[in-house]
Structure 1
Amino acid sequence: MNTFLKTIRGFTRRPASSLRRVGSSKFANLDKAVKIEEEWMPHYEKSVYYPVRIGDLFQNRYKVVSKLGYGANSTVWFCRDLGRQHNYVALKVCITSSVVNREVEIYKHIAARPKYGGEMFVRTMQDSFEIKGPAGIHQCLVQEPLLASLYELQHTLNPASLTEELLKESLKEIFAGLEFLHSGANVVHTDLQARNIMIACSDPTVFEEWEKAEQEEPSPRKVDGDRVVYQSRNFDLRNFLRGVGRCVIADLGTTRIGKQHDGFIQPEIYRAPEVMLCMPWGPPADIWNVGVMIWDLFEEGHLFSPGGDDRKLSNARMLGEMIALLGPPSQEFLHRDDETLIPDYSLEDCEIYLEGNNKALFMSFMRKMLQWEPEKRATALELLQDEWLNSPTRED
């Protein structure tokens, strides 16, 4: 039995031609005036979402059972695979977009890598296809259905933090998956957080119960003409702890192939210093992500708060917190930034006219004004009393 599964069980803290439609059951009809699910996404535009309906049959194979979730770029559906011993799958239906969808390319790249040992802890793709919708072409991905995210698992506990043992077991599997991604597949994930670490299902009967629940009590939905927006089925994870399996690194849509990149990645609270300072980044940025994520899982709060109390994003605030916790960055690290070069000279080197004690007094005077912290800067009155300012000037 998977070690993670043992741990959690013993833990008692709280294309259009390929689509066919079939009939539907009675359901709770939600108010059309109230937003639900993907309608809350920033810049939501209903026309770019494919109008999936429960009961639809994709590719004459994947029958939609219920809705698993949604995001800014897709909806995800729980389906029965009629072409493969009636197994269950997750069907991700992406929005139409002028931006090329790289997710299928990434999964194919990963699948083509030699077996490395940690690939079982990284989500894979079983099938992919395209389907034509009213607003264009939609990319579809078929994957293993997963039970929940590590974030959701965490919030079934009371208090909402992993035990030390559970944290260790989770990290062993996460690091095994990362080792495969970094060394075996030569990719950087770029967005590691508890919501993107999923929990696989070890007991297929859990999925049978999910399907039965939908049949007995169909999901609530909004019906607006020909368009239907479903409410994702709410599965209480506490009822399915018997099915908890291995951790799986998921959501590979922003993954980058190669060891060195530039540009911004990662949510602000997880952003590595080299990314924040516009330096090249690579696999170590993922390691930073995990380190910060550990705090979320184990300490019930974020390690860094770039928004502060006023919730305004601030790199300066974030860097300040990093320095407070980790100490100031080394000069060697700061010299890595090719765009904002740090010259190899000091304030004293800039002064070329004075010598000896006179120069020392002058530099002391200057440093009373040139301080990082405003409160450490001398007042005008204090400067008026400065020794160098009041010393006689030597005449040549």
Structure 2
Amino acid sequence: MKLGEIVAAPSGRYQVIRKLGWGEYSTVWLVRSQSSQNYAAMKVMKAVLTDRPELRETEYLRRVMTADPTHPGFQHISHLIEDFRFEGPNGEHVCIVTELLGQNLHQYSKRFPRHQVPIAIVKSILRQLLAGLMYLHEKCNIIHTDIKTTNVLLTLPDGATTTPINLIPDKPTVKLIDLGVACWADGVDDHWTEFIQNPALRAPEVSIGAGWGTPADVWSLGILIFELATGTFMVPDDAHEISIPYMHAMLFGPYPLALIKKGKYSDAFFKEDGSQLYPQDAQAPMADTIRQFYKGPDLEGLTQFLETVFRLDPEERPTLRNLSQHPWLSTT
């Protein structure tokens, strides 16, 4: 793409304004419709991925738009405007045009001392994400698999193209983005990788190859809330995947033997009796970690909520609907 370039789409023509971001598989551009003058975000996938059957982002986005627009969570998932193919010098690219959104939650947290978002705002964000994820799980049959602060964006005021840096809304409205590595909930076995989630966000069942489903999204959501409230990572963001089960054991205690027995890769971490292959002397319970970093109000409520989320056994982990009814969320 070149700045100022005109891209033809089924609905009309888009002018490329500037680059918004990039990743391993795509670049994202700020574009403006020449017919409506509205701004949008256009993701341009690498040409080598154009006909890869395992990448189904456009299918997921279409399902989001049609499953049940009356559902409360519909407004908390990024909306597709259109998708099309564009011929470039490197081949044919899939282009995905979505509504324009603002800062992500990682950027937003930097507005606050020690990057700790006030707990009332954290609760507001959590309620919105629970609604959005319930929509994905229950209405769209989609597991996101990549929930993190950089994949949750603030909505913009009408007509805006950037988020005012001096504006800290009392109750920001957020939307979950990027279904690029999502999965049909009833098609997990056909997903292109069994190791979903970045290692630091990875659920215990994923780490040892014990199979995964919608509870994996619940785990990542808990880590996101921990990060917003404390201003730090629960698991270091540069942690190697081989260390994740040991870090989980430090934070939450030993893995359940029943879960270990389900894991295809458990023998890399555990002995036959369920004890760790490389024993750890140190313990760093999550509750102590929260108290170390978080000095704000409602400490016990926050701790109890996260202890409810972080169950090592996914069968014991609460559903999104269970969490939405948690007493901690009934107060501001």
Q: Fold-level match, TM-score > 0.5?
A: yes
Deviates more, 1:182-191 or 1:62-71: 62-71
- For residue 87 of structure 1, what is the amino acid of its counterpart? N
Q: Select which of 35, 49, 64 maps to 1:83.
A: 35
Kept after mapping to 1: 8 A contact 2:116/2:229: yes
- Does residue 68 in structure 1 map to residue 20 in structure 2? yes
- Does residue 54 in structure 1 map to residue 4 in structure 2? yes
- For residue 229 of structure 2, what is the amino acid of its counterpart? F
Q: Select which of 242, 247, 252 maps to 1:326.
A: 252
* d(CA) in 2 for partners of 1:190, 1:165: 26
Cα 1:298/1:248, change in 2 over 3 Å: same
Shift of 1:203: 3.2
* d(CA) in 2 for partners of 1:243, 1:77: 29
Shift of 1:199: 0.7
What residue in structure 1 maps to residue 136 of structure 2? 181
**Paired residue secondary structure (1:146):** coil
What residue in structure 2 maps to residue 252 of structure 1? 179
**Paired residue secondary structure (1:274):** helix
Shift of 1:241: 4.6
Kept after mapping to 2: 8 A contact 1:147/1:244: no
Shift of 1:77: 1.7
What residue in structure 1 maps to residue 287 of structure 2? none
Query: Where in structure 2 are there 5+ consecutive unaligned residues?
Result: 282-332
Cα 1:243/1:63, change in 2 over 3 Å: farther
After superposition, where does 1:1-396 map in structure 2 within 5 Å?
51-59=1-9, 60-84=12-36, 86-98=37-49, 99-100=52-53, 101-115=55-69, 116-204=71-159, 206-207=160-161, 237-241=164-168, 245-259=172-186, 261=188, 263-305=194-236, 313-315=240-242, 317-337=243-263, 373=279
Shift of 1:87: 1.8
Cα 1:108/1:239, change in 2 over 3 Å: same
* d(CA) in 1 for partners of 2:60, 2:212: 19
Cα 1:97/1:346, change in 2 over 3 Å: closer
- For residue 106 of structure 2, what is the amino acid of its counterpart? Y
**Paired residue secondary structure (2:146):** coil
Q: What fraction of aligned residue pairs are identical, expressed as a percent?
A: 26
**Paired residue secondary structure (1:123):** coil
Shift of 1:120: 0.7
Cα 1:336/1:155, change in 2 over 3 Å: same
Cα 1:162/1:306, change in 2 over 3 Å: closer
Shift of 1:196: 0.3
After superposing on structure 2, the runs of 4+ consecutive aligned residues of structure 1 that deviate more than 6 Å are none
Cα 1:239/1:56, change in 2 over 3 Å: farther
Superposed CA deviations along residues 72-118 of structure 1, whole A, max 9, x for unmatched, are 2222222222333x222112222211434421122122223133321
What residue in structure 2 maps to residue 365 of structure 1? none
Cα 1:146/1:135, change in 2 over 3 Å: same
* d(CA) in 2 for partners of 1:327, 1:183: 31
* d(CA) in 2 for partners of 1:75, 1:281: 29
Superposed CA deviations along residues 134-183 of structure 1, whole A, max 9, x for unmatched, are 11101111110001101111112222111111111111101110110111
Kept after mapping to 2: 8 A contact 1:56/1:64: yes
* d(CA) in 2 for partners of 1:282, 1:184: 15
**Paired residue secondary structure (1:162):** coil
* d(CA) in 2 for partners of 1:128, 1:244: 32
**Paired residue secondary structure (1:192):** coil
Kept after mapping to 2: 8 A contact 1:260/1:281: no
Shift of 1:338: 6.0
Deviates more, 1:181-190 or 1:104-113: 104-113
Shift of 1:371: 8.9
CA RMSD of aligned residues (A): 2.9
- For residue 303 of structure 1, what is the amino acid of its counterpart? M
* d(CA) in 2 for partners of 1:122, 1:322: 30
**Paired residue secondary structure (2:115):** coil
- For residue 90 of structure 1, what is the amino acid of its counterpart? A
Shift of 1:245: 4.6
Shift of 1:340: 5.5
TM-score by length of 2: 0.72
Kept after mapping to 2: 8 A contact 1:189/1:256: yes
Cα 1:153/1:196, change in 2 over 3 Å: same
TM-score by length of 1: 0.61
Shift of 1:131: 0.8
Shift of 1:334: 2.3
Kept after mapping to 2: 8 A contact 1:306/1:318: no
Kept after mapping to 1: 8 A contact 2:16/2:29: yes
What residue in structure 1 maps to residue 309 of structure 2? none
Kept after mapping to 2: 8 A contact 1:201/1:245: no
Cα 1:320/1:81, change in 2 over 3 Å: same
* d(CA) in 2 for partners of 1:96, 1:296: 35
- For residue 104 of structure 2, what is the amino acid of its counterpart? S
